Chain A
Amino acid sequence: MFDVHAMRRQFPILAREVHGRPLVYLDNAATTQKPRAVIDAERHYYEFQNANIHRGVHALSQEATDAFEGARDKVRNFLKAPQREEIIFTRGATEAINLVAHSWGRANLKSGDEILISEMEHHANIVPWQLLCEATGAVLKVIPIDERGALVPGAFESLLGPRTRLVGITQVSNALGTVNPVADIIRKSHAAGALVLVDGAQAVAHLPVDVKALDCDFYVFSGHKLYGPTGIGVLYGKREHLEKMPPYQGGGDMIAQVTFKKTTYNELPYKFEAGTPHIAGAVGLGAAIDFVQSVGLETIAAHEDALLVQATRLASGFEGLQVIGTAPGKASILSFVMKGVHPHDIGTILDSEGVAIRTGHHCAMPVMDHYHLPATARASFALYNTPDEVDALFRALRRVEELFLK
């Protein structure tokens, strides 16, 4: 039986107050809080094992290398990736997408080729492709979304064509909460000869992921949205692609041999990990994965779904409040606007009540344009949120109403 109060005690920050009120942290889609286990793992690494990796002969260097490579094994297992060489550490989802766009993209695209993304992508899964298109003459095509915030049925199939080289799609939308049918998209893309990159930044903390079963070509996520540290993220890529891709950055660690005449590159995964990586971050991410697996993603998803159902019900009974993103499949995110009150004002008033939400365009300006909104307010739930906190959110929204509309 999942005990949310016991869970909360594992997150030191949740005990603090904000403006004299208990913190109600509902900005989890931006970043999650960190459990004691993750904080301790990083601390332990720095207090007992810190050294540079892959090059020292001394004991600490070996221990640090083992800790770092151990984290890679945890990620491999977490994503169900066939091989550890397919797991590349990056700074986050953003860098992982840039790596693919830069390395795979520049080596493989030519003028007139097409990249297909969706209207609900985060800027991180738009701009790197725009840069690539500018550099290569390839064309960016966009799968539109409907009023519910789901992909327009049939639109993907009609945009997918013989010139489509890669489909970049988010598994869960950060602005709307929509869960996309990525398995179906991957199957159809492959049938059309296109590769698929799945942006898992918003998915990994809420749904079990199996990259082998999905058969995606690339999968990216950030540690900090999975109860892990900032500054560490992951690119999973099928070995057959990674082997053929040129390096993304040059430097130490990614080389086999350097002379001024010719440099040969290291094998996977090191070919893509130039320079000293965020070792402590990887160790922390490993601890975060252990933590999430010890709770179980099915348990986490069930808990969060109940919170989302409660919040959606309270929202539907709140006059003047409109939920943005009503797709049939959603995870953990309630985006909304209130008649007569700008989201930014909602955010300030909620903050004064100790309730932390996100307001703005959520790095998804095309989604805002789609709804003709400058911004939305967004509450997003994590495994440590409680039904009482959902009630606190709506109490605080009543306060907004009192101040603004009475």
Chain B
Amino acid sequence: MSDLRDLYQEVIFDHNRHPRNFGPFPEANRHADGFNPLCGDRLTLHLRVEGGVIREARFEGAGCAISTASASLMTEALKGKTEAEAAVLFEGFHHMVMGEPVTVDLGKLSVLAGVSEFPARVKCASLAWHTLNAALKNESNPVSTE
């Protein structure tokens, strides 16, 4: 196994302890619930999308350090992105956690690259992103990582 420190970077601990953009968001106009039946993690994502641009992203829920940090980092990365740009980030993030070559600049999200060495934890990192996908499509059923 690779070093635990590759997985649990300081930035991840920081976002786990102090998640950014955490809490309810009544002004949101898109929502989705995500569920990881494997570990019981649940998260709700709220977005405010105006003219195809994500103005604001917030989340609520309880999860492990990886899923909480991933959701927190994602909400930061999404602000000001168009839906198309968000889709590109989603693709890039997915490639990164699967250990595949990444062609887009993921910025701070790349602290989660270590997840690819821990196959059991890939779903934790991707939960927020699958939920984002559902929110953008405005699917009403909760998405599941299974």
Contact = CB atoms under 8 A, between A and B. Distances in A.
B84 interface: no
Contact of B1 (A352, A365, A373): A352
A351 B120 CA distance: 11
Interface in B12-45: 13, 38-42
A271 interface: no
A352 B4 contact: yes
B4 to A, nearest CB: 5
Contacts of B42: 374
Contact of A368 (B1, B40, B64, B120): B40
B106 interface: no
A195 B62 CA distance: 41
Given A344-B124, A348-B120, A375 B40 contact: yes
Interface residues of B, number: 20
Nearest to B65: A345
Contacts of B8: 345, 403
B4 A342 contact: no
A349 interface: yes
A404 interface: yes
Contacts of B121: 344, 348
Contact of A342 (B7, B13, B38, B63): B63
A342 B1 contact: no
* B interface majority secondary structure: mixed
Nearest to A375: B40
B66 interface: yes
A374 B40 contact: yes
Contacts of A55: none
Nearest to A361: B40
B4 A374 contact: no
Contacts of A403: 4, 8
B63 to A, nearest CB: 7
A351 B38 contact: no
Contact of B39 (A341, A351, A375, A404): A375
Contact of A19 (B1, B13, B66): B1
Report, as a range, how many residues of chain A touch the other chain.
Answer: 20 to 34
Contact of A343 (B39, B66, B118): B39
Contacts of A344: 39, 41, 64, 66, 121, 124
A375 B7 CA distance: 21
B1 A351 contact: yes
B22 to A, nearest CB: 15
A348 B7 contact: yes
A374 B41 contact: yes
A360 interface: yes
A359 B39 contact: yes
B66 A345 contact: yes
Contacts of B118: 348
Interface string B75-95: 000000000000000000000
Contacts of A343: 39, 64
A404 B64 contact: no
Nearest to A368: B40
A184 B101 CA distance: 62
A-B residue pairs, 7 tightest by C-beta: A374-B40, A342-B64, A344-B64, A19-B1, A375-B40, A344-B39, A345-B65
Given A344-B66, A345-B8, A375-B40, 12 more contacts: A341-B65, A342-B39, A342-B41, A342-B62, A344-B64, A345-B66, A348-B120, A349-B4, A360-B38, A360-B39, A374-B42, A404-B13
Interface of A: 19, 341-345, 348-349, 351-352, 359-361, 365, 368, 373-375, 403-404
